[in-house]
Structure 1
């Protein structure tokens, strides 16, 4: 079965393919993975991936986590990557695909900021290059295990997300990202569970709380003191308990819980912090933490 120890006694191998749109954060993701101890290879043609993995494992049999950054080449790359994954899993490896995406508008802005040409632009416009790459990568995105939308993410927040894709420790903990956001800026598309806390009174309309945020004690106490706030937190903890068991059983080790209010400054931040705090206190039967928890505030600081 995929993930079983190889017959030669080496550590089970995990291969993470990092794909996505140019300008969506592939290089940032690769740097994060490398910092976390992954062996990272960039721009390896799919036809050479198996050969490269064999060479890496021969040089260092203890390497068990490889990340391969995949870039769009031609229309066959989706099929080629699918063939590579099947071959690797047949050999006992575990494979995953992380896909990084962003809106066309954001990609155009990022390329213009760094004054670079799109790699598939050729003699056409930047928009044409983005469209060509999106079409080529569509099969890979549809088959990805995790799609991260980076349009609204800073490099620091993208790092937090990528660090949670796989726990650093070789354990059975579920990595949970609790993410606050503002509905006015759009729903995060990488959410597994979403809670709308706009039913709670908005601290924005309390003059002494308006300029503070949900991490400040006065705002936190105001939000959590409202009718239904604590009950919502408890219900979501029950839901995470239910879903996490199934995720681990199915081999998924990453969950994103998105908590939304109007602007992502007060209510969603306070509730996210409280859910994160309570998740960190939960332990397994052996006393070890059940979850690897990160709290991310996507829209905090926006005007």
Structure 2
């Protein structure tokens, strides 16, 4: 396995936050499967290994919802070790009173107590999970943790990426005449900049072309705007990370989404790429 690969098995008490944990890892770029029967772990690992690095981060939730299948967990873990999969186990727990409160609040039935008392089911579940708890690489008690605090604990324990790489930045160029993107977190209007559309030789080209970029960027107003925009982005991104944001969409718009917005989207991409996970899309450049 590649040193950058991560194979995490999430287990623990029902109501302790496993669903929240897998959502957190999914937001951080993991390929996640909830409630996978333990008997299928090795089969899944085979597909994982065959991906040849295309899937590097995997998280599986395995718990007592698997019924009798749960008893095969340790056999499957031994098979993982034989396959060379360096897995880690995250065990989530909480005190009994909090677990009971959570089940009452959500009105969900405990998987071991379809008709019985929740407290008895929790006691039985603790006994069933005692052995796997002893094998866990990380145990997190969620009794007094907020979702944000749980996210911080998981990131600190399992993420190997740098702080910056915890944020995925999507850069989108668009044309206002075709409608604004509804999913933008930050939106900037560059229609005030000199427009290459009015230069006959440049009109057919897009902002991905160096000639367009040179034209757009040569003006003093453009240089001043670029300096201020880049300073603002550099200030904002670390603060978004600090607040736990994992995905940010920056939209840049001009009239038709072909020249000025594309130019700035490309320049923002160049500035951030390598320091953040950056994606770029030119929505309207070919219209």
Q: For 1:131, what is the secondary structure of its paired residue? A: helix
RMSD value, Cα: 2.3
Q: For 2:32, what is the secondary structure of its paired residue? A: strand
Partner of 1:27: 19
Structure number having the greater helix percentage: 2
In the alignment, the residues of structure 2 paired with residue 85 and residue 116 of structure 1 have an alpha-carbon distance, to the nearest angstrom, of 30
**How far is the alpha carbon of 1:137 from its aligned partner?**
1.1
CA pair 26-141 structure 1, distance change in 2 beyond 3 A: same
Q: Is residue 147 from structure 1 mapped to residue 139 from structure 2 by the alignment?
A: yes
In the alignment, the residues of structure 1 paired with residue 130 and residue 69 of structure 2 have an alpha-carbon distance, to the nearest angstrom, of 11
State how 1:58-77 maps to structure 2 within 5 Å.
Answer: 58=50, 61-72=53-64, 73-74=66-67, 77=70
- Asked if the contact 1:17/1:67 (under 8 Å) is kept, the reply is yes
Range with bigger deviation, 13-22 or 51-60: 51-60
In the alignment, the residues of structure 2 paired with residue 170 and residue 53 of structure 1 have an alpha-carbon distance, to the nearest angstrom, of 26
Partner of 2:9: 17
In the alignment, the residues of structure 1 paired with residue 115 and residue 109 of structure 2 have an alpha-carbon distance, to the nearest angstrom, of 10
Match of 2:104 among 112, 117, 142: 112
Q: Which has the larger radius of gyration?
A: 2
- Asked if the contact 2:90/2:138 (under 8 Å) is kept, the reply is yes
Partner of 2:126: 134
- Asked if the contact 1:122/1:129 (under 8 Å) is kept, the reply is no
State how 1:187-226 maps to structure 2 within 5 Å.
Answer: none
In the alignment, the residues of structure 2 paired with residue 153 and residue 12 of structure 1 have an alpha-carbon distance, to the nearest angstrom, of 29
State how 1:248-287 maps to structure 2 within 5 Å.
Answer: none
- Asked if the contact 2:31/2:57 (under 8 Å) is kept, the reply is yes
Q: Is residue 42 from structure 1 mapped to residue 14 from structure 2 by the alignment?
A: no
- Asked if the contact 2:38/2:69 (under 8 Å) is kept, the reply is no
**How far is the alpha carbon of 1:122 from its aligned partner?**
2.3
**How far is the alpha carbon of 1:120 from its aligned partner?**
1.1
User: Which structure 2 segments of 5+ residues have no match?
Assistant: 164-287
**How far is the alpha carbon of 1:75 from its aligned partner?**
6.6
- Asked if the contact 1:102/1:150 (under 8 Å) is kept, the reply is yes
TM-score (norm 2): 0.52
Partner of 1:197: none
Match of 2:113 among 121, 124, 140: 121
- Asked if the contact 1:101/1:150 (under 8 Å) is kept, the reply is yes
